[in-house]
């Protein structure tokens, strides 16, 4: 890359007047971006408009080549935040290293929430930027826990490259597979980093093989460790054939040496393997490899870069972030092998042309196109994270939200460093910034109004778990609602609903930890104590046989009385019926005036809202009205409505009612070794297994399980499968409960009623 940009510079300076030779690589600080803007705004008075535009193009490309947008993703506890902490230290963004669990009372820079520091996990993705060898690197550190998967989704949606961190002991774990799947979905080029080589049982070659088999990575190591576990001393770079040792209290002094003699054979074997794997996907190096020509470090580096950017190859780096070894070469690898914003193709949908796909130029010369990918409620209002795909955004500009059509002024523009901010005046294509005071939703697209483009949205998984919550004190109801509204806006996988039957507020999310964290955040950030309970499962009742009714409602208490008689029968609807309730009037003659028929139907409908078994709605019910009687004076709509309600209650028991429960279609993916334990547990939960397939090393089990038996399942599944199992759950149907469950539910309802 360096060579190609140098050639381009040489060509452009030889073809143009000497005044343009100032357009060399500037350091990508905000000041230099500002100077670049000023210089191209002035334009060049001499020459045609085409040449001015060409100069601007070259200038911006130079600036954008010196930028990288990367994310760090992995399975929980693989060392993502520790790695980010070291990167910030070596690039001079922070001056002290702090550990993730905050034993020193400080905690890692990127874990700014108290809850993150206490639990030692990342809950929210955090953005920062740093400079390495004159390159600006924007970094997003993402959570590893499956419950916070949306944070990984939205980070990968806007990044140009990623580092997949793998543990040298744990290897490829369940969340590594999920994260890798997300990277594929958003077509993100990546490098892998095998971390924790200092740990007992570290085996990087086992992990590399797992990445090839389980993740189907076309990958090879670009480094070989010198020693492992307690004896881990440094790394050998297979591209440049140099050994690196990390000295100093924080590994900041890198000592370069020759390859140790006792490792020469292993190193040459691994270098040959690297060249062989790269040559399978890169024609240029394949020719040299097949004709046995010597391959220079520069040629190999360029080939690895081409293959990585094209997503045909994944270079594997090694090290121990905790022991401060291997981080600087990884940073060099990010610069050498991951793409700059200009090398990644991004598409928008043109709303004015029936969502036609448009390729964005990715330069600041085009119209503004920016995507709001994350929202946060900060101390000063809503903070909206933007990835700018094209054009320039300035403080004070008016921008249009394409999704809502609203015109908004940008009051404040900042660059983020975890929870700290740096005010800037403007930002250009390729950058990740944040704006204040802009009301929008996650996934909205902003333009300058000259185009009507929207970016494709993120994949948002459906919630799998619900809890009932309510504030302990009624005085805190306002704060409680405020908290729920804020969290719902910030996190698309967090849903809030009201159970119409029980009046409970139901929160839904990706798992128990996800919901527990939000309940804890309501308590800490809004000072509202909430009572958490299991939500009332939406049972139903139905009848199993026909029953007749003949009810006379007669009331005389001075003045106009009430009189109404209804005769007919109730019966279950046939299976597969499209409606849940049917009313049929088979009355012959005028025994009941037709004006009262709607009131009778309304009465039966109202009565069916609560069956007498457990006070849940009655479904699959057909009511047929055969006959009745009316009084010339005392009959009224109210009298017939009450007659219908009491008639239903009178015949309901005779119709042999039963209870229906919601049954879920559950799909599980677990490693084959845990298949027996998991199927045994499904049977205990009264589930019916309807399918069992094999997918690589995993078993895919499909089952129908009652929802009432699925509470706490995500935790149970994790403990049964060492955290490697995952499941999805969706509503299938309501079906009849067994006799023992029927008795249990009725007895518990009667006991509650008695109390």
CB atoms within 10 A of CB 539: 23
E strands within 573-711?
A: 581-585, 618-619, 621-629, 657-671, 688-695, 698-706
Token pair of 263 as six digits: 């490792």
Helix orientation angle between 675-684 and 713-720, rounded to the nearest 10 degrees:
150
Does the annotation place 297 within a ligand binding site?
no
Query: Over the range 562-577, which residues count as b (16 or more CB within 10 Å of their CB) and which as e?
Result: bbbbbbbbbbbbeeee
CB atoms within 10 A of CB 232: 22
Rg (CA), the chain: 33
677 by Cβ neighbours in 10 Å (0-12 / 13-18 / 19+) ranks as: middle
Does the annotation place 197 within a ligand binding site?
yes
Token pair of 101 as six digits: 């669990």
DSSP letter for 674, please: G
d(CA 272, CA 241): 12
CB atoms within 10 A of CB 398: 10
Collapsing DSSP states into helix, strand and coil, what is residue 730?
A: strand
Does the annotation place 78 within a ligand binding site?
yes
- The helix or strand, by DSSP H or E, that contains position 80, with its residue range, turns out to be helix 80-90
Token pair of 537 as six digits: 């499962």
8 by Cβ neighbours in 10 Å (0-12 / 13-18 / 19+) ranks as: middle
**φ, ψ (nearest 5 deg) of residue 533:** -135, 170
What DSSP line would sit under 368-399, residue for residue?
Answer: -EEEEEEEEEETTEEEEEEEEEESEEETT-EE
d(CA 553, CA 548): 16
Does the annotation place 147 within a ligand binding site?
no
Paired strand residues for 567: 550, 627
d(CA 51, CA 70): 33
Does the annotation place 231 within a ligand binding site?
no
**Nearest by Cα to 428 from 387, 398, 400, 457:** 387
Cα angle 621-575-609, degrees, rounded to a multiple of 5: 25
Does the annotation place 75 within a ligand binding site?
yes
Does the annotation place 198 within a ligand binding site?
yes
Does the annotation place 141 within a ligand binding site?
yes
d(CA 458, CA 180): 16
**φ, ψ (nearest 5 deg) of residue 160:** -95, -20
DSSP letter for 66, please: T
286 by Cβ neighbours in 10 Å (0-12 / 13-18 / 19+) ranks as: middle
**Is residue 521 within 8 Å of 480, Cβ to Cβ?**
no
Q: What is the dihedral of CA 46, 49, 51, 53, to 10 degrees?
A: 130
Residue 103, C-beta contacts closer than 8 angstroms, at least 6 positions apart = none
Token pair of 542 as six digits: 């139905």
> Which residue in this structure is represented by tokens 């009848």?
543
Does the annotation place 74 within a ligand binding site?
yes
Does the annotation place 170 within a ligand binding site?
no
DSSP letter for 426, please: E
**Is residue 529 within 8 Å of 469, Cβ to Cβ?**
no
Does the annotation place 27 within a ligand binding site?
no
Residue 454, C-beta contacts closer than 8 angstroms, at least 6 positions apart = 348, 349, 351, 402, 403, 445
**Is residue 163 within 8 Å of 75, Cβ to Cβ?**
no
d(CA 122, CA 143): 5
Does the annotation place 475 within a ligand binding site?
no
Residue positions forming the annotated binding site: 74-81, 141-145, 195-198
Residue positions forming the annotated binding site for GTP: 74-81, 141-145, 195-198
């Amino acid at each position: 890359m360096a060579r190609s940009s140098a050639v381009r510079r040489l060509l452009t300076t030889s073809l143009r007047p000497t005044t343009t030779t100032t357009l060399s690589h500037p350091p990508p600080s905000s000041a230099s971006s500002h100077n670049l803007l000023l210089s191209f705004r002035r334009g060049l008075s001499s020459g045609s408009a085409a040449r001015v535009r060409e100069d601007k193009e070259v200038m911006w490309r130079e600036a954008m080549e010196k930028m990288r947008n990367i994310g760090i993703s992995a399975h929980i506890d693989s060392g993502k935040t520790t790695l980010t902490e070291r990167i910030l230290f070596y690039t001079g963004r922070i001056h002290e290293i702090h550990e993730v669990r905050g034993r020193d009372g400080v905690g890692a820079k990127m874990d700014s929430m108290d809850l993150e520091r206490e639990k030692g996990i990342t809950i929210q993705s955090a953005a920062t930027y740093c400079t390495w060898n004159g390159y600006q690197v924007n970094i997003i550190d993402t959570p590893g826990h499956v419950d916070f998967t949306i944070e990984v989704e939205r980070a990968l949606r806007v990044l140009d490259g990623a580092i997949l961190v793998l543990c040298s002991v744990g290897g490829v774990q369940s969340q590594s597979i999920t994260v890798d799947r997300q990277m594929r979905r958003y077509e993100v080029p990546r490098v892998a980093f095998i971390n924790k080589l200092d740990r007992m049982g570290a085996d990087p070659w086992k992990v590399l093989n797992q990445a090839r088999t389980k993740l189907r990575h076309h990958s090879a190591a670009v480094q070989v460790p010198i020693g492992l576990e307690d004896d881990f001393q440094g790394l050998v770079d297979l591209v440049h054939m140099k050994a690196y040792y990390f000295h100093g209290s924080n590994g900041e002094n890198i000592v370069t040496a020759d390859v140790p003699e006792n490792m020469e054979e292993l190193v040459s074997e691994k270098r040959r393997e690297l060249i062989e794997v790269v040559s399978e996907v890169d024609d240029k190096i394949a020719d040299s490899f097949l004709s046995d020509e010597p391959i220079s470090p520069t040629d190999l580096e360029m080939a690895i870069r081409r293959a990585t950017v094209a997503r045909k190859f994944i270079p594997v780096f090694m090290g121990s972030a905790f022991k401060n070894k291997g981080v600087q070469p990884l940073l060099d690898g990010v610069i050498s092998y991951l793409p700059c914003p200009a090398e990644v193709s991004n598409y928008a949908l043109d709303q004015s042309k029936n969502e036609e796909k448009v390729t964005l130029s990715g330069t600041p010369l085009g119209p503004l196109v920016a995507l709001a990918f994350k929202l946060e409620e900060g101390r000063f209002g809503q903070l909206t994270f933007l990835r700018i795909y094209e054009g320039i955004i300035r403080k004070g500009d008016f921008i249009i939200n394409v999704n809502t059509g609203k015109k908004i002024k940008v009051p404040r523009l900042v660059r983020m460093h975890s929870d700290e901010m740096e005010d800037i005046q403007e930002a250009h294509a390729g950058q990740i910034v944040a704006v204040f005071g802009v009301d929008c939703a996650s996934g909205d697209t902003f333009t300058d109004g000259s185009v009507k483009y929207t970016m494709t949205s993120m994949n948002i998984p459906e919630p799998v778990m619900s809890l009932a919550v309510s504030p302990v004190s009624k005085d805190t109801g306002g704060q409680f609602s405020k908290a729920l509204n804020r969290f719902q806006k910030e996190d698309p996988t967090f849903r809030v609903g009201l159970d119409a039957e029980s009046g409970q507020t139901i929160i839904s999310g990706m798992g128990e930890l996800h919901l527990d964290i939000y309940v804890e955040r309501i308590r800490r950030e809004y000072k509202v104590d909430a009572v958490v309970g299991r939500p009332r499962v939406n049972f139903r009742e139905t009848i199993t046989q026909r029953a007749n009714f003949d009810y006379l409602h007669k009331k005389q208490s001075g003045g106009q009385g009430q009189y109404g008689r209804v005769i007919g029968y109730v019966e279950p609807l046939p299976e597969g019926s499209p409606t849940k309730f049917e009313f049929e009037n088979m009355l012959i003659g005028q025994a009941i005036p037709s004006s009262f028929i709607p009131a009778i139907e309304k009465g039966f409908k109202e009565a069916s809202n609560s069956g007498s078994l457990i006070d849940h709605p009655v479904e699959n019910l057909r009511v047929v009205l055969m006959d009745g009687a009316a009084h010339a004076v005392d009959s009224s709509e109210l009298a017939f409505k009450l007659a219908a309600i009491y008639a239903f209650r009178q015949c309901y028991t005779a119709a042999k009612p039963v209870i229906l429960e919601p049954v879920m279609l559950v799909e599980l993916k677990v490693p084959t070794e845990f298949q027996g334990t998991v199927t045994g547990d499904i049977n205990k939960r009264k589930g019916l297994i309807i399918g069992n397939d094999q997918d690589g090393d995993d078993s895919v089990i499909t089952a129908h399980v009652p929802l009432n038996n699925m509470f706490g399942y995500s935790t149970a599944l994790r403990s049964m499968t060492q955290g490697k199992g995952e499941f999805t759950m969706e509503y299938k149907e309501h079906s009849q409960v067994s006799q023992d469950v029927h008795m249990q539910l009725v007895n518990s309802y009667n006991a509650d009623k008695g109390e």
